[in-house]
Amino acid sequence: MGVSERSGDASSRRIGVVLSVVSASGGAGKSSVAMAVARQCCNRGLSVLLLDGDCQFGGCSRMTGDKALLPFSQLLRACETGEGVAAEGLTVVGPDAMEYAEQHIPHLPYVARQAAQWFDVVVVDTSGVWTEPLLSLMEASHRVLFVVGQSSSSVMGARRALDLCLRCSVATGSFLFVLNRCSRHSLFTSIDVSCALGGAHVVEMLEGGAVVEELQGCGLAERLLQDGNPFYKSAAAIAEEAVPRCQGAQEERPPAALRDGRRMGFMASRRRNDAAKRGKHQLAAQEGALRAEEALWR
């Protein structure tokens, strides 16, 4: 898949949906969910960009047999020059060599938003490390799929991640929690996870069996869609909820969410808030001391 020249004012074009897929624990099936949702969106006739955000160990390209693979560096160059990318069916963006990961990760939010000018849906399969670029990406996304696995550690990790979002002032209204690998014999149901997460809306992803890992590992993920695998069937309902069929032009996200493709340091903002609170306490203590001194003079 190559780069194509695109002309015209970007503001006059329809902005696609940016859909980030995250998780708070390894083994939750985040990449499989991202691939299934991307396939279902493509099956609805939408042009889809599947962006592998794990710039070190990403494997989305292997699930498609490296078909329509576009290196991340080439997509970044297209975004910076404004040339654009030919939006046809499903386009997979894979990572470059591992040594470039540190340079590319901070550009993920910027690249996702720019690519939404050319594609109907941009699905970002993120890494498992929660850093500032990931929080920036979630702020710049129209919808966030939070994948939870069938383990207590995955559920507790989701709670810790929500606490982090609360402390860093990251809005969670766009989150859609996805409980993966659900069956009659599963450890958790969507109701269990919803209660653990304070009543959050949770949808279920059905168990598709060992054939899901086998075919995706062989680069034959498309066959799961053709065979009507339960895992991919449930992805259709999630894609319908995350990307409505009657989607129109999406509103631009507030420019404050991104600054040069990066989010303002959330730890720095937290330190500023803590300093402001300490300043208020010190001022109140000084005022109390002055009032006590005035009372003595009286």
Q: For 84-113, how does the pLDDT look when each residue is reduced to its tens digit (9 = 90+)?
A: 888 888 999 988 888 888 889 999 999 999
When pLDDT is cut at 50, 70 and 90, the band that residue 82 belongs to is confident
- Residues 6 or more apart whose Cβ sits within 8 Å of residue 208: 224, 229, 230, 231, 232
Query: For residue 286, what pLDDT is reported?
Result: 62
Query: For residue 282, what pLDDT is reported?
Result: 60
Query: For residue 83, what pLDDT is reported?
Result: 87
- Looking only at the bridges linking them, the beta strands covering 48-52 and 121-125 are parallel
How many Å is the maximal CA-CA distance in the chain? 89
What does the alpha-carbon distance between residue 99 and residue 121 come to, in Å, rounded to a whole number? 29
Give the mean pLDDT of the chain: 83
pTM score, whole prediction:
0.80
Beta strands across the sheet bearing 69-71: 69-71, 90-94, 48-52, 121-125, 17-23, 143-148, 175-182, 202-206
Buried b (16+ CB within 10 A) or exposed e, 110-145: bbbbbbbbbbbbbbbbbbbebebbbbbbbbbbbbbb
Q: For 21-53, how does the pLDDT look when each residue is reduced to its tens digit (9 = 90+)?
A: 999 998 899 999 999 999 999 999 999 999 998
